[in-house]
Structure 1
Amino acid sequence: MTVPDSAQAGLNADTGMGTDAAARAGHIRSFVRRQGRVSNAQQRYHQEMMAKIGVPYAAARLDFDALFGRVAPRILEIGFGMGETSAVIAALHPENDYLGIEVHTPGVGSLCKLVAEKCLHNQRIIQHDAVEVLRDMLMPGSLAGAHIFFPDPWPKMRHHKRRLLQAPFVALLTSRLQPGGYLHCATDWEDYAQQMLAVLSAETLLENTVSGYAPRPEQRPQTKFEQRGRRLGHGVWDLVFRRRLDSLQAEDDRQNELA
């Protein structure tokens, strides 16, 4: 997962750069590439399944209909970890197509294994930087929804600039949602939840579906880690926003102002 530098926002306005151009100007990565142990099974499924469901990064727009072989709502997940939640959601909603982005090989291999075991036909994976995928590969207005579950909280104050949910990133992601498309985020760090709520609320093309934080939607199954945390009294905060139905004209006006 990655995030543009929050300081870039002021530069965008000064230089007249649009959302895509701003992302192209450079960003601070919200992930650190760790070697992490890859099990034999993860390595095997990664090698076998990515040849079938993997999507190589390329600076060219994806044709979703050709990729999935049908027309259906497309949901993006950024940073799917080990993929347990991704596989459950894809299995429960065969009517949707799911594109997951993750950089770490053990997690990609784990989801590949789950896709094979569950015979999922509606899951694809890109192992690459999320900002570059959003910027270069996804058409504006192409997503029915997006999931960002438990992104790295970067808890130290000096690292907060690496957090994924910053205004420039949210603007880029929102541009890829269709009007009415949703953005569902979740975190177990309260101060990050507060930042998420502030940033998402400030994005003029989005609207909150509730007042403040949302009850956990049924579409997000609880992980074992989350269940354990709740037993220990740890909080989890869900946020569900939607792209405004009247946002196409608003986005055009914003781009014209930046031009």
Structure 2
Amino acid sequence: MNSPRTSAVHHARVRTFHPRRGRMNGRHADALTRLWPLWGVPIPETPTARLDLPALFGRRAPLVLEIGSGMGEATVEMAAADPHRDYLAVDVHTPGVANLLAVVEERGLTNVRVGLGDAIVLLRHMLAPASLSAVHAFFPDPWPKARHHKRRLIQPAHVALLRSRLVPGGALRCATDWAEYAEVMLETLAADPELVNEHEAYAPRLAERPLTKFEQRGVEAGREIFDLSFRRR
């Protein structure tokens, strides 16, 4: 299996994320060495095949894609409370991936797999149309500078891709603490003819979305949290 360090290398292109590096402690390094071969999903620069999801999880079950899982706090809590669905969490931060692997082991979860790399590459090349029951994009990078808006995850072309991977009735759920990006998210998602807003505008805070340390810092700093919940027709 490819090393997670080499699988996160990408061709120069417009990315929706900041490539990040971080130092790993001994616990993280140990988790990555032991658990990546078991539960890791390499996302190569140019994938040549789609994922065999039943083989990956050892069963056929609805699949939730978590884009930008960070340190894995939300993923672990949602997967633990939702054992009848599988969770594929994707991030570009190796220490976060390693931490999630460690916590999955500690919690004894069998319905979580962890990808390291570009979620857009995963969606476009490794996941079949109508293969996801839900997509979660919680607190994606807002890319606040106008010249960087082209890097945002929630933009028309990416939304069309996300929606195409959802089953009919599948959920696309987002959250942000950046007010301007929230407005753009709402406008962009509402403009997709195959998505239906489950609320008139923003959604109430999703009950199943755990409060993470990242979100708590935003709340303490006085930033409003915006949730959006759409479904594919």
Once the two structures are TM-superposed, the CA of residue 27 in structure 1 deviates from its matched residue by 5.2
> What's the Cα RMSD here?
1.4
Once the two structures are TM-superposed, the CA of residue 56 in structure 1 deviates from its matched residue by 2.3
Q: Kindly indicate which of the two structures has a greater share of residues assigned to helix.
A: 1
Q: In 2, Cα distance between the equivalents of 1:233 and 1:62?
A: 41
Q: In 2, Cα distance between the equivalents of 1:217 and 1:164?
A: 20
Q: In 1, Cα distance between the equivalents of 2:163 and 2:177?
A: 23
1:189 paired with 2:178, answer: yes
Equivalent residue, structure 1, for 2:35: 49
Equivalent residue, structure 2, for 1:120: 109
Equivalent residue, structure 2, for 1:234: 223
Once the two structures are TM-superposed, the CA of residue 232 in structure 1 deviates from its matched residue by 3.9
Unpaired segments of 5 or more residues in structure 1? 1-25, 245-259
2:75 counterpart letter in structure 1: S
2:227 counterpart letter in structure 1: D
1:168 paired with 2:154, answer: no
Once the two structures are TM-superposed, the CA of residue 132 in structure 1 deviates from its matched residue by 1.0
Equivalent residue, structure 1, for 2:71: 82
2:191 to 187, 199, 202: 202
After TM superposition, the runs of 4+ consecutive aligned structure 1 residues lying more than 4 A away are none
Q: In 2, Cα distance between the equivalents of 1:37 and 1:156?
A: 28
Q: Is the contact between residue 74 and residue 210 of structure 2 (CA under 8 Å) also seen in structure 1? A: yes
Once the two structures are TM-superposed, the CA of residue 153 in structure 1 deviates from its matched residue by 1.1
Unpaired segments of 5 or more residues in structure 2? 1-11
Q: Is the contact between residue 155 and residue 188 of structure 2 (CA under 8 Å) also seen in structure 1? A: yes
Q: Is the contact between residue 139 and residue 174 of structure 2 (CA under 8 Å) also seen in structure 1? A: yes
TM-score (normalised: structure 1): 0.81
2:127 to 138, 143, 148: 138
Alignment of 1:61-100 (within 5 A): 61-100=50-89
- Once the two structures are superposed, residues 52-94 of structure 1 have per-residue CA deviations (whole angstroms, 9 ceiling, x without a partner) of 1012233211221121111211100111111111111111111
2:138 counterpart letter in structure 1: F
1:110 paired with 2:96, answer: no
Max Rg structure: 1
The structure with higher relative contact order (CA 8 Å, sep 6+) is 1
Work out the percentage of aligned pairs sharing the same amino acid.
53
